[in-house]
Structure 1
């Protein structure tokens, strides 16, 4: 009876708040009531999870979808993101968030900004299948980075070993390709990244990791590139190999596929004017960077770009961005929903904002990260230190990522916001990769190091023909 009386007294207090609220009290009181009264019921009586790769991405309350639709993923993120993962699309890795450790843990990363919170409430154990691969840093689940863990777990076939007990799971969900930098050396057995076939010839390592003559700037960035290429990894894991092992993969002067062009996009709510504004703004900023005209907070201007590609608009990428934008759920889409595509997001609290203005404001805000946060790297590498600076820099780096030359966006008027989603192909923001190659901008077609590119000297950009 004492417990019941206490509960009734507490309920009366909450009802008093709801009947006589101060401004913004309805939402606050509602979430207090929910958090205090539903913790057991939510977990035991309601659990709705996704399918396939999202099978461990779950809503723990039956009204999650409604709350997400009215913007609560943003307004009440502390509660919504862990409890309404499916509706808020807060599961999975995405290019918009990557926080990695330092020193020996530099390749041990969290792929969601709420990983630390989930880890603090025990989700590393309760939801280990999702947490261990996606919140490695917060869960301390990077096996090879810990001397203790390495000694405690080692599964080998001959000299080919896994150094973490969850390697097989990570391999099964595609992490050998998506997180190749960490997976290939630490989960060799599960990723089949050992040269276990003695009859298969191994390509001898070159004494130089760069080409000669006009390909002297085409390099391998890993010592094992020649071996990996001889095992067929250029075809099996192109997203990793064509970035790290251009020389061994014979990708020094690739033929780049053309984008569809904005003229071919269907009537889906986007207008030609909005598409053109987004494309023009991106190329304006890429040109500024290429010519060394972009101010960097870390000092001076960002270095000039030697072979910055001019962006093209792609209708297929726009369709993919639209599928996320129409859901009106703030947060990055799951990586499997945009394979090899980067993503930038923007919203305005004005749901009736002019779409051209929203497109312009989004691009300006993203690019301004260079002036307000800064990169400050002479070699222009996206290091852990750059990525983990206070504030965000990833929108800027994705906008000017040299190899991301296809752009598709969607602007949507949601009930509580105007939502801009831009996606980029191929995906950028790879840790320890150059944001772009530095040097004087192109003056000849040959400078572009692309078999079907033409140099625009006036812009300092390479145009895919």
Structure 2
């Protein structure tokens, strides 16, 4: 599938500024649980995702590792197929209790408040979407309509959300745009996003955390105007 020249121009700008992708999480190590308990495995976050404004209200999702294909004028025909769902009853999706939902919203909204972004409300559709996806115990993005942040190996949602936000220290507000090293932060504080829904799942080697955002952030255009308007420096 060939991409229109306007989108390719945007992609070329992104490729030039993107940092190297993070290696995917290895969930095949049978000793990972013990290693994690001993502090030998570091918590991690997945590569961020963004959306290219394709015009006429259409947005094409991409991950930072797809920049190279975009530069060649190609777009993935399909997302990688999800692995077989885990069948062990020990590893179950966790419907979040009210207090945890409240903490997720409070943490997001505190970081958003620092940057002058309006508070988020809870999105049950987004939460259920994430919970259904996590049945696969796959540390990869869904490729759905939502903006999305993923993390694994963290103690709880507050530490995962903080890891996403802490990318602010690498973001250059004088050169706004999508970068592999800061895409989680920009989604967290994206002003036009109004709701979030999250889920977690205890998998064989990790607990995986997912948050889905609507409307999606990280919208990329040739002039990065979306980033300029939605990601502003800390005000407080």
Between Structure 1 and Structure 2, which shows a larger proportion of strand residues? 2
319 and 393 in structure 1: CA distance in 2 versus 1, 3 angstrom threshold? same
2:17 alignment counterpart: none
99 and 375 in structure 1: CA distance in 2 versus 1, 3 angstrom threshold? farther
d(CA) in 2 for partners of 1:289, 1:374: 13
Length, aligned pairs only: 170
1:414 alignment counterpart: 203
**Is 2:122 the partner of 1:313?**
yes
Structure 2, unpaired ranges of 5+:
1-22, 29-46, 53-59, 79-92
Corresponding residue to 2:104 among 278, 285, 291: 278
**Is 2:70 the partner of 1:136?**
yes
Q: Confirm or deny: 8 A CA contact 1:382 1:430 kept in the other structure.
A: no
429 and 115 in structure 1: CA distance in 2 versus 1, 3 angstrom threshold? closer
1:25 alignment counterpart: none
Note the C-alpha offset of 1:115: 4.7
d(CA) in 1 for partners of 2:136, 2:193: 25
Q: Which TM-score applies when normalising by structure 2?
A: 0.60
Between Structure 1 and Structure 2, which shows a larger proportion of helix residues? 1
Pairing of 1:149-298 with structure 2 (within 5 A): 269-290=95-116
114 and 370 in structure 1: CA distance in 2 versus 1, 3 angstrom threshold? closer
Note the C-alpha offset of 1:97: 3.5
Q: Secondary structure at the match of 1:361?
A: helix
1:346 alignment counterpart: 151
d(CA) in 2 for partners of 1:98, 1:364: 20
Q: Confirm or deny: 8 A CA contact 2:50 2:219 kept in the other structure.
A: no
Q: Kindly provide the CA deviation profile for residues 12-46 of structure 1, in whole angstroms up to 9, marking residues without a partner as x.
A: xxxxxxxxxxxxxxxxxxxxxxxxxxxxxxxxxxx
Q: Confirm or deny: 8 A CA contact 1:96 1:342 kept in the other structure.
A: no
Note the C-alpha offset of 1:368: 0.3
Alpha-carbon RMSD: 3.9
Q: Confirm or deny: 8 A CA contact 1:98 1:111 kept in the other structure.
A: yes
More contact order relative to length (CA 8 Å, sep ≥ 6) = 2
Pairing of 1:317-332 with structure 2 (within 5 A): 317-332=126-141
Corresponding residue to 1:374 among 171, 176, 188: 171
The structure with more radius of gyration: 1
Q: Which TM-score applies when normalising by structure 1?
A: 0.32
Note the C-alpha offset of 1:288: 1.1
Note the C-alpha offset of 1:309: 2.0
